[in-house]
Structure 1
């Protein structure tokens, strides 16, 4: 089906009220500023997303996750919200959003939206009131603290975006907490009124028809009331971090500024609201380099917390390898036997994995197909970031074109997040890759235009067609969505595991190395057709080419 097909031309699928739809779902992340511009202002919008919904449905995703589109001064491009119940005019209107949800549901796509509730914009009316005095009705809606006797901040907590996490306010003559930009003050979740209001906002969007939420920085909701200093993180542990290595944020062990135990009770309250609706679900983002899997297990345990979470284990700059894959998944399975993960290799906050892992591969396309097959066969749900299915590399953005305050702050050692946020490329022969008829908010690299959707659709060797075929393969084998996982011993560079649901067992093996190899998995498996992989099995031995894979049905 052509990328240019309209919603009206698609067969009507309709979303069914399945309360378990999220388990094993493939969620396609849309960064709205960069997906499709419908009015020529150079910024993507909701009408543009509607236009491209058939593309996502034909790719084979189960749901879309739309990054923030709320009213915002855009200091952090929508992650600084000034009104939780509205749509920023640059993206459209509530009517546009309702139409988008209706179209998505007609195509069988569920809609998840990004709920950013750990902090607001400093232009939000709540903060304007809160900072006006120490005794107004919202005085305690944000995290305020007196200075030390010498006038310095209350403690040593640092902002992810650089510098102290405390900003002085001249009205109250106090500091307020901001884990990100100083224009993003943190809400005080210790105040039950704050929680109640945020839960009402959650209901508002559910009543508008959304199927769930991606919860931004889910482990940042609570801080320690005692405001202790964070301890020093030993240098040998600083390379595994959620911040770039030039950022002093990595020098601390973040014991007190986030990931507090009180969060569990709030997540239970949040889940109770979702359970008022027949099939609502949520996925949480855990930003903690050293306790990510532990928190993932805690936050998704049982049926009264968050449905699923993702951590940064597969979003780190370290090249993926077999032992890392096995250790991460086995640890999660061990610590969260009744929990659920949502795995991702790329998103809007990290360099694209085509560059982060694959920049030096001799055959980048083969590598990207292999890791895609591995991602789509691991136990858990999956997030695919727009353009990942095209194999897009990280864009190299000149300093004068940078928009991201994070990149501007730490240039040139860290270039920020603009390189993964450039516009989606639809047409190789149209200006700006078919994204806009105006000047795009970020430049469209020539290398991306050459990889546009229209150059890959219909080409059986393309990364796009591999994703599309493999998503169909995953859909045809439900064991890959909901089955159990057990790893099989294999050569050093090989990830091998069994997926089983009691009726079907599939052997999945992926050679991340650059040499051909073979191994005996201890089971006999007949190759499954249409998996798009070139491994073979005979007499109980699996043979894999370099960067090759195999999927077989166990006899």
Structure 2
């Protein structure tokens, strides 16, 4: 991990601080809790951690509404705690990536409190302000991703301000060079502390159309998106003008110049646009972001054909760009439930890590994914997510994937907290999958996860190799990974019944036993794959 390009092929473990480990008994996870469990994280065989926001915040969006980019929120601890976390992670060989939310701040941020006072103060142009139309309505038709109009009236200025997310998250005006400079200065603060990477939240939302042109309507049959439901009015538009503006590319280059001053650091952009794969390719070209990821594998479709089309589409668009893949995170239904149904098998859970970690690119793994946690069913009265509360019952929000980690299967807090009540409930199904229980079971998903990641590290083709898909009938996904003189064939059965897939013609296959997932076998001219099984084989030509 001393390689300056450590991020290529890295497995990055996402930690959602509120739900990782509570050490002070208030029912909410904290930085000391992360420190306490870093040995566990290192034991998984991952290369880095990504820590979701822990900065000063009113928590309207649970930390993605930042009131001070350079302060740790007391809910999570102190700056000294973060310094200890950084030092321990590095001592364990783990790189540290932190979230940065650049496109907007909290409405409690000092910049916004000054900006909203009048139209002539020093920060007057730091946010996106606009006059009402003649009839008093907002300046255009832009919608918020969290539902409703993306403009909020501010009586002190007699103007509307833009919020692409919650009204408590006003958008910064990146057309203002002072805003761009202040944003980069905040990033430099954390680089000087020694962080290794930034995960850049909603990075394509920084710039807006300066002319404030209306977004065009989207036909009903095309109202499908990444990360929002089709009954959300946000899906009724093509979002050509409120995000993904061409001016943002110059800012990506400014970001890259900054990180290049700190050798070995990296940037990972979260990208959700009308064509997220094309935007990812554009944002990861030379001199821009190191990596990009989108919501393409965070959807309902779990077919081999969809996964192949998605990866091949990105591969065709990128040149030197580097993808990062994820099948779960803090914003979507957990993959075991989304793709595996109500009662996913242990073999299915083990297959998921083999799938995502065998594709070309880096990997983001969400806490609890190694345990195979299913989506939690959080009742309405326990919901915390404003997005879910607004769209209940059609969409239950993001709380179901954010419930606390079950460290033990006993006690009220399941080893997460000593409090009588955690900030979100811990379901009984999660207790049955607790870390202590799985560590005692050699065949558990947790131990399979560890075994597979250790095995992956010794195969450069899986970490760094090129990818080429091979034809196979559903539900088999088949491809090769090639690096230097090593070529590996990867075949995965995404289905729940055994299949026999014809082996690729013209290739000699030498099967490699893979620890972790269920292994299929090579018989004559076929790959025999039981339900949710894999085959890895060295490839040479006949």
Report the TM-score, using the length of structure 1 for normalisation.
0.95
Residue 418 of structure 1 is matched in structure 2 by: 399
Shift of 1:371: 2.3
Change (3 A) 1:23 1:445: same
1:382-421 matched pairs, under 5 angstroms: 382-421=363-402
Shift of 1:459: 1.8
CA distance in 2 between partners of 1:514 and 1:454 (Å):
28
1:219-368 matched pairs, under 5 angstroms: 219-288=204-273, 290-302=274-286, 304-316=287-299, 318-360=300-342, 363-368=344-349
Q: Secondary structure at the match of 1:86?
A: strand
Residue 379 of structure 1 is matched in structure 2 by: 360
Aligned counterpart in structure 2 of residue 470 of structure 1, from 445, 452, 474: 452
Shift of 1:540: 4.2
Q: Is the CA contact 2:476–2:501 (under 8 Å) kept in the aligned structure 1?
A: no
Matched, 1:529 2:513: yes
Gaps of 5+ in 2: none
Shift of 1:228: 0.9
Residue 14 of structure 2 is matched in structure 1 by: 29
CA distance in 1 between partners of 2:504 and 2:515 (Å):
19
Residue 193 of structure 1 is matched in structure 2 by: 178
Residue 132 of structure 1 is matched in structure 2 by: 117
1:438-457 matched pairs, under 5 angstroms: 438=419, 439-457=421-439
Residue 494 of structure 2 is matched in structure 1 by: 512
Shift of 1:413: 1.0
Aligned counterpart in structure 2 of residue 66 of structure 1, from 43, 47, 51: 51
Matched, 1:481 2:466: no
Displacement over 3 Å in runs of 4+: 530-533
CA distance in 1 between partners of 2:6 and 2:441 (Å):
31
Q: Is the CA contact 2:226–2:272 (under 8 Å) kept in the aligned structure 1?
A: no
Residue 158 of structure 2 is matched in structure 1 by: 173
CA distance in 2 between partners of 1:242 and 1:231 (Å):
20
CA distance in 2 between partners of 1:296 and 1:248 (Å):
25
Q: Is the CA contact 1:57–1:107 (under 8 Å) kept in the aligned structure 2?
A: yes
Residue 119 of structure 1 is matched in structure 2 by: 104
Comparing 416-425 with 533-542, greater Cα deviation is found at 533-542
Change (3 A) 1:240 1:116: closer
Shift of 1:322: 0.5
CA distance in 1 between partners of 2:473 and 2:401 (Å):
33
Q: Is the CA contact 1:458–1:465 (under 8 Å) kept in the aligned structure 2?
A: no
Matched, 1:49 2:34: yes
Shift of 1:211: 0.4
CA distance in 1 between partners of 2:446 and 2:301 (Å):
22
Q: Is the CA contact 2:513–2:519 (under 8 Å) kept in the aligned structure 1?
A: no
Shift of 1:511: 1.3
How many residue pairs end up in the alignment? 536
Shift of 1:57: 0.3
CA distance in 1 between partners of 2:93 and 2:226 (Å):
37
CA distance in 1 between partners of 2:292 and 2:519 (Å):
33
Q: Is the CA contact 1:354–1:364 (under 8 Å) kept in the aligned structure 2?
A: no
Q: Is the CA contact 2:55–2:71 (under 8 Å) kept in the aligned structure 1?
A: yes
RMSD of Structure 2 on Structure 1 (CA): 1.2
Q: Secondary structure at the match of 1:357?
A: helix
Residue 554 of structure 1 is matched in structure 2 by: 539
Deviations 1:399-429 (A, max 9, x none): 1111110011111111111110000010112
Q: Secondary structure at the match of 1:85?
A: strand
Shift of 1:360: 4.8
Comparing 425-434 with 157-166, greater Cα deviation is found at 425-434
CA distance in 1 between partners of 2:261 and 2:484 (Å):
32
Aligned counterpart in structure 1 of residue 83 of structure 2, from 91, 98, 106: 98
CA distance in 2 between partners of 1:547 and 1:53 (Å):
31
CA distance in 2 between partners of 1:385 and 1:279 (Å):
23
Matched, 1:160 2:145: yes
Greater strand share, 1 or 2?
Answer: 2
Deviations 1:232-261 (A, max 9, x none): 111121134431222111111111110111
Q: Secondary structure at the match of 2:199?
A: strand
CA distance in 1 between partners of 2:539 and 2:240 (Å):
46
